Structure formats: C-alpha cells, structure tokens
C-alpha cells in the first residue's frame, strides 16, 4: 500500500482554473465564462501530477464524480481526467447541486461595489455584508445553498458507506467553484454556512476530505507548466 492510499473513502475537491473574473475578483456564478490560457495550464499541470494510475487521484479508485454544469468546471474536469472518465459514464454526474452560489443581482460585481450598493439601500446598518449570512439579492440564500449541498452529501455517503472498511476503493471527486466548495466543507463538517471558518482555495487547487474524520485540508494550486 502506498503513502497515497486511503484508509477510508475520500472526497477530493477540485476548483476550476483561472478565468478573467477570478483575476478581477468579480462575483462569477451563472455567467458561463471560459478558462484563461493560464487557467488551462494550471489545471493541466495539476492533472499531470495528481491524476492517473498510482497517483493521488487514481481513476480506478473513483466511484463517482460530480461536476458543475458551468463551462469552466466542465473544461477543468476534461483536463484533469484526460478522457479516463467521460461525462456520459454512469459514474459522472453534471449537476446544479455543486454549481457556484447564484449571486443574483451581484453577478459580475466586486465586493466593494456590493457593499456600496447595499449601503445606499440602507442595508447592513451596524454590520458589514456577509454572503454566508446575508445571501444575494435575486439569487440564493444560505438556506437554499445548504439544502442542495446537504442533498449532495447524502448521495456521497450512500456511495461510500458500504466501503468504510476498505472493501474496495470508493473515492469521490467534486469539480466546481471556489465559494461553493468552501460551503461544501462547512456542511461536510456539519457547520452552518455563517460559521466563522476562514478558508481559501486558489484556482486549480485540489484538496481531500476523509469521510471518517471530519477535518479538512484546503488544497494548493501547483505551478503551471511553462
């Protein structure tokens, strides 16, 4: 057994690579923006190092992949797995359950612009805008995000529960977006979304979460190949 072998099934979280809006800091929810050339390099580099036979994510050990339907996530999935797992496969599900938070009227805005907009509306008196608590006007509330993530977590546990004693490898991969993956971590740990748990996950990063021990490692993005 190698050092990378799991003692229980794992959930790997993969954030899509860089886009123009991740560079600018704009809220990117339903906008179907493509990866930049640098984003493609980030994911390709990560995939070549971490995905493949005998590597951290071995496709033969993956029982299911859930992918956001946004093009930046779909492209990241394709670059990571390089055809070893196809979207048409029964083990791959493209679903809104792991899509990015719906930012509604805040789509495309910067945090400072959102705070100024809300200030002019008389919101957040005595406090500062906090998406984990306040949600987004015309978009999703924390309760709605929690509901869909809890639904996904229940499906993951259905896949992994029969194999908690190493009966066979049963890893899961989620390919999605920065904020929703951080939301996933909180719900995986049974924390409400407004629980003050600071996390960062750069574009192209991969992390893993052990179903048997509710702790987490937020991944790093490996240097892109030249």
The alpha carbon dihedral of 19, 20, 26, 31 has a sign of negative
CA pair distance 222, 101, nearest whole angstrom = 25
- Contact indicator for 188, 153 with CB cutoff of 8 Å: yes
- Please give the annotated binding residues, written as ranges: 28-29, 72, 100-103
Q: Which of 109, 108, 132, 130 is nearest to 180 (CA)?
A: 132
List residues with catalytic annotation. Answer: 16, 100
Q: Which of 53, 55, 66, 54 is nearest to 11 (CA)?
A: 66
- Contact indicator for 122, 198 with CB cutoff of 8 Å: no
Tokens of 162: 């029969």
- Contact indicator for 11, 98 with CB cutoff of 8 Å: no
Tokens of 82: 């390089």
- Please give the annotated binding residues for substrate, written as ranges: 28-29, 72, 100-103
CA pair distance 55, 47, nearest whole angstrom = 10
Q: How many residues does the chain have?
A: 226
């Amino acid at each position: 057994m190698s050092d990378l072998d799991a003692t229980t099934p794992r959930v790997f979280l993969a954030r899509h690579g860089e886009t123009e809006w991740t560079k600018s800091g704009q809220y990117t929810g339903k906008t179907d923006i493509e990866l930049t050339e640098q984003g493609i390099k980030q994911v390709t580099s990560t995939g070549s190092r971490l995905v493949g036979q005998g590597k951290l994510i071995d496709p033969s050990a993956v029982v299911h992949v859930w992918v956001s339907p946004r093009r930046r996530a779909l492209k990241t999935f394709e670059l990571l797995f390089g055809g070893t797992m196809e979207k048409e496969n029964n083990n791959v599900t493209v679903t809104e359950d792991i899509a990015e938070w719906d930012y509604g009227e805040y789509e495309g805005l910067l945090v400072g612009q959102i705070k100024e907009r809300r200030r002019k509306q008389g919101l957040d008196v005595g406090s500062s805008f906090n998406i984990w608590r306040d949600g987004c006007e015309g978009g999703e509330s924390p309760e709605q995000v929690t509901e869909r993530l809890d639904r996904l977590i229940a499906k993951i546990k259905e896949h992994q529960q029969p194999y908690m004693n190493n009966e066979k490898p049963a890893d899961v991969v989620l390919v999605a977006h920065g904020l929703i993956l951080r939301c996933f971590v909180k719900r995986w740990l049974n924390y409400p979304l407004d629980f003050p748990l600071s996390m960062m996950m750069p574009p192209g990063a991969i992390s893993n979460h052990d179903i048997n021990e509710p702790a987490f490692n937020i991944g790093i993005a490996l240097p892109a190949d030249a």
